[in-house]
Each structure stands twice: as structure tokens, then as C-alpha cells.
């Protein structure tokens, strides 16, 4: 019996993860009913609801499967790594070559265009650590990002609360898009006043502001509901909430998924996505890191411009929305930070934050050299 044809999902249209990576409220497949005249498929609401009920355990299993796959270190344990053939890795690297090795080609492609830099935070500028409150970036990385931002408009795009990510990066003059792009702040275009720490004037865009009370409510409920699961940690990211399971025993993941589901099912206006050992709860609005990238390009005066070259560097599933946006626009490219082959819309790869720093430093050196050459009479 085939189980295709009808997919019922409460994922909202416009959510851009590639089908192979989509984890948002996984589709529930129901048996194909007889096709109605004209080839349309009809299904009664009561039958639909019954099927959704029946499939609740399936939904939890699907969440847990996705949780297991959500961290490269889990998916690629040493046993898995040995089975990961050289051929597999090499063919992935052919499709997503190192941005460091391809540096000359990259800057050549950007010639005559305005580079705009978009940087994810966790796993990109700072290494992944067990305690989300201690995910500090190094002083060397901070100094490099500071130089970068003097050369190119630069935005930090994070799932975290904007104030929190600012407290880690501590650099004025940049654009900050927190809560997966639902909280954007930065200097006004052409502004001489580059101070944009909390409380400063400039661009402010918060497309999910009406969800604030709901997010706070859900945060409190999740804190309470998950308190019985050792290691679980709930983080209030202002317009979204993260439930961390990095420190939860794998045997308890199913229990945690059920706790989160029991809260989330009362909130149809919220949806679930996943990051690296984290369940992320956010509004169903059609907004993500890709839309934030587009918004920032417009805010910077690059709407409908062919001479812009956006570069987005990120390590997470949520960064895929931005990689895809760049592919769809046919401008610039994405760089995935990963040591392991992954399905991605990024064009290039870097292995870890230290490589990100080297890449950013090379961009700074290249920009300085090319500006010097432009100023020097021949």
C-alpha cells in the first residue's frame, strides 16, 4: 500500500529548507483515498484529524530521529566516520570546495561588485560548547571581524536573542539580526554614527513583535515542563525559544520531545525547527535568515542591484534559508562551516571557526591591497 500522495503538515508555506532537510512539524502521511472526479484528492476533516491523532507517536519518533541527526558529532561517531569513504568525502568536497583553497576564484568573481558579509554566530564565529552561555568568541576573531566590518558592510545573523549575541560580539557599526532574523538592528544607511549597541538609533525591524507575549508564555511553560529532564535547558531568544538537549542523556530525548510537543500543540501559531542539538520554537510567519538577508540588502541600498556580492557564512540548518536565498538570487554565495559532508545549498565549505577567521582575514588583506593598488598611480 503506498503512503504517498497526501502529505498533511502544519509547516507553513514559504519555509525554505530543502525537502531533504526539512524538520519543521514533519509531514504526516495518510493513505491515498480514491481520487475524486477530475483527479483531485479529497479527504474528510474528521478522517484527517483521526489520522493526525494516530500519528502523534510517529511525529515524536520523527522528532527524535531528527534530533539524532542534528549534530554532526552524533551522526559521525568514530564508527560512522570510518565508514565514511574517502570517495564520499572527496565528491562532496568537489561540490563544496574549501573557500580558502578557492579564495582567488572567489575574489575574482566579486570584482566590480560590492561585497556584503553575513556571519552566523554559534559554530561559525565561536566554537560549539556545552554551555550556550559560555559560547565566547576569541579576541582574535573579534579583531578580525572588526577589520572586516571596516572593509565591507557586515551583519551578524543568529538564532540567539539580539542583545545576547551583541554581548558576545561586542562590536559597534555592524548589523545584528537576532532571533533567526526576526529582530534586526543596525546603523541607518550612510549613517556616520556607527554606534549601534542596545539603545542606539538606526534601523530596527521586528516582524514578529506581536508574538512576544506568546513566546514568553511558551518559554515559561517549557521551563516548567522540561524541568524533570536532567540536562535540558530552555533559552529565551526573545522572538523564539531554544530547548537545548546537548547535555540530555540520549535515552531521555524521546521524553523531552514529548514534553516539548505537549506544550507546542497548544500553540498552532508556533512551529518547530532544529539546530545543533537544539529544538527551536518560533512563530509561523514567513520569515527566516534568508528573508533577513534580503531585508538587509535592501536596507543597505542594494535592492535590485546587480553589483552586489553577498557572502553568507553559517554552520546550521537555519542558515540554509540564507544559502538558498543567495542561490535563488544568483548573487554571491554561501559557505557552510562543517567538517562533514552535509546536504547544503552553500557553494563552498570551511571546516571550523578558525578557518572562518583565516578566510575573513584574507578578505581584509585582499581588500586593503586592492584599495592600495587603486590609489597608486601606475
Ligand X SMILES: O=P(O)(O)OC[C@H]1O[C@H](O[C@H]2O[C@H](CO)[C@@H](O)[C@H](O)[C@H]2O)[C@H](O)[C@@H](O)[C@@H]1O
Show which residues are catalytic: 120
CB of 244 to ligand X, least distance (A): 5
- At 70, which helix (H) or strand (E)? none
Helix 253-264 and helix 212-226, axial crossing angle in degrees, nearest 10: 150
Residue 320 CB partners (closer than 8 Å, separation 6+): 16, 17, 18, 21, 344, 345, 346
Q: Smallest distance, Å, CB 136 to ligand X?
A: 10
DSSP reduced 3-state for 100: coil
* Residue in the shown chain whose Cβ atom is closest to ligand X: 159
Minimal CA–CA distance to 201: which of 213, 214, 192, 210?
Answer: 192
Q: Which residues bind to ligand X, rule: CB under 6 A?
A: 120-123, 128-130, 132, 135, 158-160, 235, 237, 242, 244, 246, 275-278, 280, 316, 318
Least separation in angstroms between residue 236's CB and ligand X is 9
Q: Smaller CB distance to ligand X: residue 102 or 141? A: 141
| Radius of gyration over every alpha carbon of the chain, rounded to an integer in angstroms | 22
Pick between residue 229 and residue 242 the one whose CB is nearest to ligand X: 242
Rounded-to-integer distance, Cα 123 and Cα 42, Å: 45
**Interatomic CA distance for residues 19 and 16, integer angstroms:** 8
The smaller minimum CB distance to ligand X, of residues 30 and 292, is found at: 292
3-state secondary structure of 178: strand
Q: Which is nearer to ligand X, 31 or 73 (CB)?
A: 73
Supply the minimum distance, in Å, between the C-beta of residue 13 and ligand X: 23
Nearer to ligand X, 102 or 145 (CB): 145
**What is the three-class DSSP state of 23?**
coil
Residue with cell 540567539: 160
* DSSP, res 77: -
CB of 120 to ligand X, least distance (A): 5
Q: What is the 3-state secondary structure (H, E, C) of 320-352?
A: HHHHHHHHHHCCCEEEEECCCCCCCCCCEEECC
Which residues are within 8 A (CB) of 250 and not within 5 positions of it... i.e. 6 or more apart?
A: 68
C-beta of 97: minimal distance to ligand X in Å? 23
Cα–Cα distance for residue pair 144/117, rounded to 1 Å: 13
To ligand X, the closest distance from the beta carbon of 299 in angstroms equals 20
Please, are residues 28 and 226 in contact by the beta-carbon 8 Å criterion?
no
In terms of CB distance, is 17 or 30 closer to ligand X? 17
Give the residue with the Cβ less far from ligand X, 30 or 322.
Answer: 322
Cα gap 302→250, rounded to integer Å: 46
**First-residue to last-residue Cα distance in the chain:** 75
The grid coordinates listed for 48 are 484527517
Amino acid at each position: 500500500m503506498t503512503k504517498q500522495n497526501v502529505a498533511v503538515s502544519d509547516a507553513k508555506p514559504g519555509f525554505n529548507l530543502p525537502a531533504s532537510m526539512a524538520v519543521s512539524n514533519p509531514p504526516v502521511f495518510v493513505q491515498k483515498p480514491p481520487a475524486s472526479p477530475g483527479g483531485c484528492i479529497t479527504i474528510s476533516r474528521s478522517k484527517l484529524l483521526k489520522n493526525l491523532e494516530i500519528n502523534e507517536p510517529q511525529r515524536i519518533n520523527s522528532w527524535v530521529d531528527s534530533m539524532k541527526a542534528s549534530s554532526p558529532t552524533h551522526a559521525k561517531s568514530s564508527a560512522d566516520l570510518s565508514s565514511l569513504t574517502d570517495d564520499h568525502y572527496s565528491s562532496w568536497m568537489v561540490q563544496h570546495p574549501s573557500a580558502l583553497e578557492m579564495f582567488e576564484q572567489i575574489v575574482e568573481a566579486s570584482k566590480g561588485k560590492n561585497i556584503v558579509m553575513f556571519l552566523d554566530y554559534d559554530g561559525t564565529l565561536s566554537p560549539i560548547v556545552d554551555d550556550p552561555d559560555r559560547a565566547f568568541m576569541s579576541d582574535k576573531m573579534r579583531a578580525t571581524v572588526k577589520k572586516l566590518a571596516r572593509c565591507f558592510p557586515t551583519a551578524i545573523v543568529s538564532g540567539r536573542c539580539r542583545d545576547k549575541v551583541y554581548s558576545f560580539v561586542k562590536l559597534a557599526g555592524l548589523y545584528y539580526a537576532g532571533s533567526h532574523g526576526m529582530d534586526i538592528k543596525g546603523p541607518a544607511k550612510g549613517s556616520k554614527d556607527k554606534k549601534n549597541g542596545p539603545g542606539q538609533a538606526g534601523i530596527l525591524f521586528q516582524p514578529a513583535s506581536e508574538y512576544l507575549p506568546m513566546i514568553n508564555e511558551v518559554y515559561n511553560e517549557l521551563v516548567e515542563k522540561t524541568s524533570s529532564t536532567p540536562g535540558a535547558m530552555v533559552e529565551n531568544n526573545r522572538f523564539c525559544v531554544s530547548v537545548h538537549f546537548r547535555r540530555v542523556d540520549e535515552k531521555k530525548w524521546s521524553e523531552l520531545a514529548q514534553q516539548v510537543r505537549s506544550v507546542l500543540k497548544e500553540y498552532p501559531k508556533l512551529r518547530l525547527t532544529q539546530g545543533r542539538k537544539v529544538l527551536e520554537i518560533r512563530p509561523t510567519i514567513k520569515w527566516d535568515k534568508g528573508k533577513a538577508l534580503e531585508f538587509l540588502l535592501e536596507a543597505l541600498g542594494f535592492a535590485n542591484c546587480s553589483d552586489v556580492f553577498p557572502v553568507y557564512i553559517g554552520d546550521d540548518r537555519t542558515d540554509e534559508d540564507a544559502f538558498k536565498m543567495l542561490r535563488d538570487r544568483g548573487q554571491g554565495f554561501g559557505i557552510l562551516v562543517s567538517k562533514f559532508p552535509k546536504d547544503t545549498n552553500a557553494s563552498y565549505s570551511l571546516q571550523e571557526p578558525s578557518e572562518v577567521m583565516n578566510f575573513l582575514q584574507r578578505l581584509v588583506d585582499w581588500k586593503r591591497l586592492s584599495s592600495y593598488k587603486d590609489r597608486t598611480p601606475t
